[in-house]
Amino acid sequence: MLALEGVSRLFRDGAGVSDVTVQARPGEIVALIGLNGAGKTTLMRLALGMLRPHHGTVTLFRHPLESVPSEQWARVGALIEVPLAYPELTVRKNLHIACLLRGADPELVQDSLDAWKLDPVANRRFRHLSLGNRQRVGLAAALQHDPDVIVLDEPSNALDPASVILVREQLIRRARDGAAILVSSHHLDEVARIADRVLLMNRGRLIGPLDPTGDDLEREFFERIRQDDELRGSAEVAE
């Protein structure tokens, strides 16, 4: 449903991503993990057309990204970095607008409020919410129209443990129903619980899969990063 093939996008300071290939298939949760600055958010922005690649291609529902029909975008749910919402409007109104923008039934709003435990703040203005509640509103808006492709950047950011469990349950259920899910996270243990594939990024490149069933995921994560940094350092010296 979503494929990035040999995608590169570099910025003036040298940051970005280089020659990255990732696919998310129906019913699959693909997790990107890496240190801050590894390129995870850039890759997700490329997947959604928020950035254009300098090289490589991105396809969504088998269409090149630049020619995806507008109605197909309604089948996508995304949350990148921070929730997008109107600060002066209530939670309920923001979710209502999100439904209308995607051509979904506004009756879904109440179900979404219930699912994300947002009823107590439904009539509160977004700008008055805590960071955790803002994140839950962003997740509710991204998922309430039952998208076929889901792209979430650090979805558990600022969430309490109970809300993290809500995210886990939502993603597992939606993958079971056939959605293709691309998610980034710093929470290695949580990733291991939900992901079908875990892909490790370092300094703008994918450096391979990480086994989510391993005994010590954190140790393997840092060891793989260290090995990659050493290899790159040796290559730079050789040049």
Residues in a beta bridge with 183 = 31, 152
Q: At what angle do helices 131-143 and 108-115 cross, to 10 degrees?
A: 140
Given pLDDT bands bounded at 50, 70 and 90, which one contains residue 13?
A: confident
Given pLDDT bands bounded at 50, 70 and 90, which one contains residue 235?
A: low
- In 3D space, the residue among 15, 144, 5 whose CA is nearest the CA of residue 78 turns out to be 144
Tokens 């129903």 correspond to 177
The model's pLDDT over 21-38, given as tens digits with 9 standing for 90+, comes to 999 999 999 999 999 899
Q: What is the pLDDT of residue 208?
A: 93
Q: How many CB atoms lie within 10 A of CB 174?
A: 20
Give the chain's radius of gyration (CA, Å).
Answer: 18
Averaged pLDDT of the chain: 93
- Taken in order of first residue, the domains within the chain and their CATH numbers are 1-75+148-228 (3.40.50.300), 85-146 (no CATH)
